Amino acid sequence: MTSNYIFILFHYNVEIILSGQNVNNIKEYLANDHRRCDDLFAQMEAKANSSLADTKELTEAFVADMERHFQREERVVFPEFEAKTGMLNGPTEMMRQEHAQMRNLMQQFFEAIEEDNKDKFFGIAETLMILLQQHNMKEEQMLYALMQQHLSAEAEHIIGMMDSLVVE
């Protein structure tokens, strides 16, 4: 079970390295994270479509990947941005609130799998998908660009920290 999960994460990380994106730009780095989560999401749904019972691993992988992305933001780049701009209750706080909404929703995936309730699973998936995408649009369209602008000098260092982050 865990090996499968490790394989998936490994696969994606290798893919990023192979795709030749030498990412030293915060905006690109985090946007890549979004695309990777989207792909995992689609895989999870495809699996759920054939068999919900077998979806648990992929769902765990997806939720873990999302969590890692959230923490990269909440524990690394958001505090840096807040310290630099002095904006404590601004956009980053709104993004944290949406992260909380998504975390809550993702937990319900496991209830649906437990109950073997496909309708519930896809209902959550659809809701999460739209919530996630409009969240991503806000971040990619505005927040990441601002971050790159304000944190460009420290970008490499910040990306290094996000890369080595251990998920709590």
Output 50 or 164, the one with its CB closest to other proteins. Answer: 50
Q: Which residues are within 8 A (CB) of 67 and not within 5 positions of it... i.e. 6 or more apart?
A: 103, 167
Output 32 or 127, the one with its CB closest to other proteins. Answer: 127
Instruction: Identify whether the C-beta of residue 131 lies closer than 8 Å to the C-beta of residue 102.
Output: yes
Shortest Å, Cβ 132 to other proteins? 9
Instruction: Identify whether the C-beta of residue 27 lies closer than 8 Å to the C-beta of residue 34.
Output: no
Output 71 or 127, the one with its CB closest to other proteins. Answer: 127
Shortest Å, Cβ 64 to other proteins? 19
Copy the structure tokens of residue 163: 């890369």
State in Å, rounded, how far the first CA of the chain is from the last one: 20
Type of residue at 58:
L
Residues near other proteins (CB under 8 A) are 38-39, 41-43, 45-46, 49, 85, 87, 89-91, 93-97, 100-101, 104, 119-120, 122-124, 126-127, 129-131, 133-134, 136-138, 141-143, 145-146
Output 115 or 163, the one with its CB closest to other proteins. Answer: 115
